[in-house]
Amino acid sequence: MNTMDSYVLVYGMYIGLGVFSALALSLFITYLILNKNNNYGDFAPDIEEYSQGGIYYTREVNNVTSHEKNFLFMEYGENPYEGRQHNYPEQLLKNSSGDQNDSL
């Protein structure tokens, strides 16, 4: 590589980095400005808000294999609430279409 080539390479890199820096900063500041028009925020009430005592862990294993994944889903695949009978308001039942015949 001669001196001319290395100059082109170095200055090409400078220009590339300069353009990318300008683009990145421009995007970032535009985002900050537009964000003032946005109020969906990230807030949604978490588990603490609506639960009694948070999660009661029945399994907490680190470093598992994909083989153990199958066992996990076999163990927890069955619905533990199957067969529980409940009363639900008439409105919820009347809104149901006739083709859904699952028991509640």
Partner 1 sequence: MAVLCGNCAGKLIFNPATQKLECATCGSAFRPEDVEDKNAELHSKYYDTRVYLCSHCGAEVVTSDTESSTFCVYCGNPAIVFDRVSKEYRPDGIVPFQVTKEEAVKYIRLRFLKNPIVPKEVKDKCIPANLRGIYIPYWIVNTDYTEADYIKGEVKQGKHSEIRYYSRAGKVKFKNIPIDGSNILSDDISRKLEPFYLEDAKEFDEDYLNGFYSNRSDLNYYDLRASTAYRCHKMFEDEVVKSVQARNVKIVDSIYHVDIHDDPIYMMMPVWFFTFKFEGKPYTVLVNGQTGKVVGTMPWQKKKIYTIAVSIFVITLALSAFCFWASENRFLGMSQIYFNAVAGLIAMESFFFAKGFFGIKKILKNLKLTQSEAIFKFVKKRQE
* Window 25-84: residues binding partner 1 (CB under 8 A): 25-31, 33-41, 43-47, 49-66, 68-69, 72-73, 75-77, 79-81, 84
Whichever of 5 and 36 has its CB closer to partner 1, that residue is 36
Query: Which of 103, 97, 73 shows the shortest CA–CA distance to 85?
Result: 103
Place of tokens 């590339």: 16
Question: Is 9 among the residues that bind partner 1 (CB under 8 A)?
Answer: no
Question: Is 1 among the residues that bind partner 1 (CB under 8 A)?
Answer: no
Alpha-carbon distances, residue 33 vs 23, 36, 63 (angstroms): 15, 6, 43
Question: Is 98 among the residues that bind partner 1 (CB under 8 A)?
Answer: no
